[in-house]
Structure 1
Amino acid sequence: MNSLSLSIIGFGNVGRGVAEVLYTKMPHFKKKYGINIKVVSITDTSATIWDQEAINLREAIETKNHFGSLKFWGNEYEVYKLDPMEVVKEIDADVIIDVTNDKNASKWHLEALKRGKGVVTSNKPPVVFDYKELVDLANSKNLPYLFEATVMAGTPIINLLKEEILADSVKRISGVFNGTTTFILTSIETGMTFKEALKQAQTAGIAERDPSNDLKGIDAAYKATILHHLAFYPIDFKEVHIEGIENLSEEEIREAKKEGTPFRLVATVEEGKVEIKPKKVYENGPLAVSGTSNVAVIETDLLGELMLKGSGAGIKETASGVVGDIIRAAVSIYKYL
């Protein structure tokens, strides 16, 4: 049985979620796919733990959960201080897993590919800003560069566009791709103030401490841009029209809900055009999602209208997308299936 070795960079909620799935489901993956996956390094902001034979994932998770840092990973283990580029250059791994928010990660993604290592990422900016260079290099090296978890967490819209509807030409994609803004809008609809809704979202872990990327529409714009790259061709992010929800008044939001046309932060993707804008949607229509759900309506020439709905956030959901790509990487590298 061939072994696929991984370096995980980023060990926050998503990184630990990926490690948890790999730890608990490894027997299933071995049985179903004939894949033996081993993690040889994990890097958080304080340290890198490295064991070429395979890291004990349960110990790593417990260390992070208990102490908050991998630098406390037991006296019998050696702990290193390596940045992502050093991990890529110094550690022998088949695939680099990027579950960080590093906006400059494309530099070490490119370095990994140059060194013959595949890349799996949930990190959006590299795919948004350097898509063509990364994908072209990966293709030239016959290596996987996979990013399912960048849009709609584990809901498989990326692979639907890349692999499943190859005979179709996409006409338009309409969607709601940011759960934080939907949560805030629905909370205001039920009587909360904007400030109260945001605080509740942050307390629940739905919104970041700095929620500006969500509220200004940047996160949704990243996701819509990635979909344009796939459905049509790479588009410059500077060409994307972006309006967030911060200029909507509480009165406007509640009045729209009363009229049966609630506001949602809607992404529209057409050839040569990406727009993010708060729009009124029909209450019983597909875009009137609630909570943190995401939805995409894909219009094609042959299949007509396809709707894909699922959680757009969450540790398990995002881990599903990342681990699914790890298995795809194994298939690509070793031709398991």
Structure 2
Amino acid sequence: MDVKVQLFGFGNVGKAVARVLVEKKKFFREKYGLDFKVVSISDTSGTLWLPEGVDLREALLVKETFGKLSSWTNDYEVYNFTLEEAVKEIDADIVIDVTNDKNAHGWHLTALREGKAVVTSNKPPLAFHYAELIGEAERRNVPYLFEATVMAGTPIIGLLRENLLGDTVERIEAVLNATTTFILSRMEMGLHFEEALRQAQSLGIAERDPSGDILGIDAGYKATILHCVAFGPKTFDEARVKGIAEITLGEVQRARKKGKTIRLVATIERGSITVEPKEVPLDSPLAVESHENAAVIWTDLLGELVIKGAGAGLKETASGVVSDIVKAALTITGG
């Protein structure tokens, strides 16, 4: 069964998703009877559109070589669509958003109204417009999937949305940002905050502008999304968020002496979202290292459930996105 896909965003995550679609083509056909045909790819330079399907290997080569799709001049036309126009103009079954477009909820809604499924790793649309997006998807009876927005490919969203359906979730505590974990781990080795941050930047773990991570905004977005799924709609504006920028080397060392470690912990209960640095015991599931994320979910029936895994990384994020693409395709095709 052919499934037509539009890919928005062709940076590191977009390329990782494209690689999986190329490398596992046979796997998707044999296991699910699905053939994914990418009919358009949009990056900041324009939209490449070919109704019979873009050659992903070639697209990856052009992007790697020239850095932008608009350099591809031979067989393809590159259009200057806005993202909204690309959603409206191009015939497709699934829209994939792996951009950082903070205003993407507008064209997500357009896609849903056009009867297209949406798969996204982009957090702000959900952190600010969850109720509207999910409401529209339900009215149109099309999938709106966002596994990769929280914990990359580690399937916490699927767990909360599709399993535990008889359970009442009471509380979630989670470490959801790998950059802050790296910085705090380096501080435990004796580095001051600024030195640890510089090291994270030089390794590509922290952005040039690291404020989203160190001020707790990224973790706040993720915690808001978890609240929406577990308890019902809330927006990021209602979350109480404090980052790690004020944590001193002395505080980190004092915690270690007590057999504890400081991590940026999100606590989510019905009606309440808090993100703040906390001391956690060294034997706690939340005492994660490197790019791991962890969440502890308490429910009335199951008690304490721990989910732990990669919370960052390109292959890991692609895992979450591609899993949702398959899920959306099976829903659409009745597979």
Question: TM-score, normalization: structure 1?
Answer: 0.98
Tell me the amino acid that sits aligned with residue 263 of structure 2: R
Output the amino acid matched with 1:246. Answer: A
Instruction: Quote how far apart the aligned CAs of 1:4 are.
Output: 0.8
- Give the AA of the match of 1:88: V
SS of the equivalent of 1:299 reads strand
Q: Which residue of 2 aligns with 1:316?
A: 315
Alpha-carbon deviation of 1:281? 0.3
Unaligned runs of 5+ in 2: none
- Compare 69-78 and 115-124 and name the one that shifted more: 69-78
Tell me what 1:43 maps to: 42
Matches within 5 A, 1:134-173: 134-173=133-172
CA distance in 2, matches of 1:162, 1:9: 25
Per the alignment, do residues 117 and 259 of structure 1 end up closer, same or farther by CA in structure 2, a change over 3 Å counting? same
Tell me the distance in 1 between the aligned counterparts of 2:220 and 2:212. 9
Counterpart of 2:78 in structure 1 is: 79
Moved more, 43-52 or 188-197: 188-197
Q: Which residue of 2 aligns with 1:253?
A: 252
Task: Give runs of aligned pairs for residues 115-130 of structure 1, distance below 5 A.
Answer: 115-130=114-129
In structure 2, what is the equivalent of residue 65 of structure 1?
A: 64
Q: Cα RMSD (Å) of the superposition? A: 0.9
Contact 2:193-2:247 within 8 A present in 1 as well = no
Question: Is 1:273 the counterpart of 2:272 in the alignment?
Answer: yes
Report the CA distance between 1:238 and its aligned residue: 2.2
Q: Distance in 1 between matches of 2:2 and 2:222?
A: 33
Amino acid at match of 1:311: A
1:23 matches 2:17: no
Corresponding residue for residue 10 of structure 1: 9
SS in 2 for 1:281: strand
Shift of 1:260: 1.4
Report the 3-state secondary structure (helix = DSSP H, G, I; strand = E; otherwise coil) of the residue aligned with 2:246: coil
* Conserved 8 A contact 2:193-2:245: no
* Whole-angstrom distance in 1 between the partners of 2:256 and 2:90: 54
Contact 2:171 2:269 in 1 (8 A): yes
CA distance in 2, matches of 1:167, 1:300: 10
- Aligned-pair identity in percent equals 57
Distance 1:311 1:21 in 2: 17
User: What residue is the counterpart of 1:291 in the other structure?
Assistant: 290
Q: Does the aligned pair in 1 maintain the 2:3–2:37 contact within 8 Å? A: yes
Q: Are the aligned partners of 2:171 and 2:299 in contact in 1 as well (CA < 8 Å)? A: yes
- Counterpart Cα distance in 2 of 1:258 and 1:315: 36
1:196 Cα offset (Å)? 2.2
Q: Which amino acid aligns with 1:321?
A: G
> What's the counterpart of residue 88 of structure 2?
89
Work out the CA distance in 2 between the residues paired with 1:18 and 1:210.
25
What CA distance in whole angstroms lies between the structure 2 residues aligned with 1:203 and 1:86? 38
Q: Tell me how far apart the structure 2 counterparts of residues 38 and 48 of structure 1 sit (CA, whole Å).
A: 16
Specify the code of the residue in structure 2 equivalent to 1:37. F
Counterpart for residue 185 of structure 1 = 184
Cα deviation, residue 187, structure 1: 0.7
CA distance in 2, matches of 1:206, 1:38: 33
